[in-house]
Chain A
Amino acid sequence: DIQMTQSPSSVSASVGEGVTITCRASEDINNWVAWYQQKPGQAPKLLISGASSLQPGVPSSFSGSGSGTEFALIISNLQPEDFATYYCQQTHSFPLTFGGGTKVEIK
């Protein structure tokens, strides 16, 4: 199985600031990474597929980068609705695997 190691596990930031979340795959997965946002009591929401392709309706303040084994989710100009937990997921092969999650909290 491909392991996805996500860091940090939590980060505090203020409204208007930016944060970067990283995800490392245990082997080369090209650009086969998705990013999800999950708010308390809600199902995950797909933000980005293919490492950098924004899903329809996702604000441009979200962006993704990386290839091979190193990936990043960048959130610029944090808004109150962006405070949530974020997960990476490898979309290279079955079994699908997720990172452990990063909780973005308000400072």
Chain B
Amino acid sequence: QLLLQESGPGLVKPSETLSLTCNVSGFPISTGYYWGWMRQPPGKGLEWIGSLYYNAQIFYSPSLKSRLTLSVDASKNLFFLTLNSVTAADTARYYCARGFDGYNYNFWGPGTLVAVSS
């Protein structure tokens, strides 16, 4: 059974770096599929952050690209999000998900809430 679980700091100070981990169980990341990150500010809609395919393509949201890095540790079946120079606008629940074609995401983690505040 495929399970995804996000983990992160919960609270980050403005201008600092946000680092999140998605722990995947039940399916090797290196086998295939696309792995993505989405976020949702409190009370608002969904925003796509970026997606990657192991050892191949990485796609970033243009609005975040200058601050964003997505990466994978296939040996530990983890993938990561790093977002630099955060502001209050980055406060959101962050979700990791698996997509069957890079565009449609049918398995999601429960999300982790990140607040940016001093």
Please report A residues at the B interface, Cβ cutoff 8 Å: 1, 32, 34, 36, 38, 42-46, 49, 55, 87, 89, 91-92, 94-101
How many interface residues does chain B have, given as a range?
20 to 34
A74 to B93, CA, bound (A): 28
Q: A46-B104, A91-B103 are in contact. Are A96 and B111 (CB under 8 A)?
A: no
Cβ B46 vs Cβ A98 within 8 A: yes
A49: B residues at CB distance < 8 A: 104
Q: How far is the CB of B23 from chain A (nearest CB, A)?
A: 15
Q: A1-B62, A95-B59, A95-B61 are in contact. Are A55 and B106 (CB under 8 A)?
A: yes
Cβ B95 vs Cβ A101 within 8 A: no
Q: Which of B90-118 contact A (CB under 8 A)?
A: 95, 97, 101, 103-106, 108-111
B48 within 8 A of A: yes
A95 to B66, CA, bound (A): 15
Chain B 42-76, CB-CB to A under 8 Å as 1, else 0, gives: 00011110010000000101110000000000000
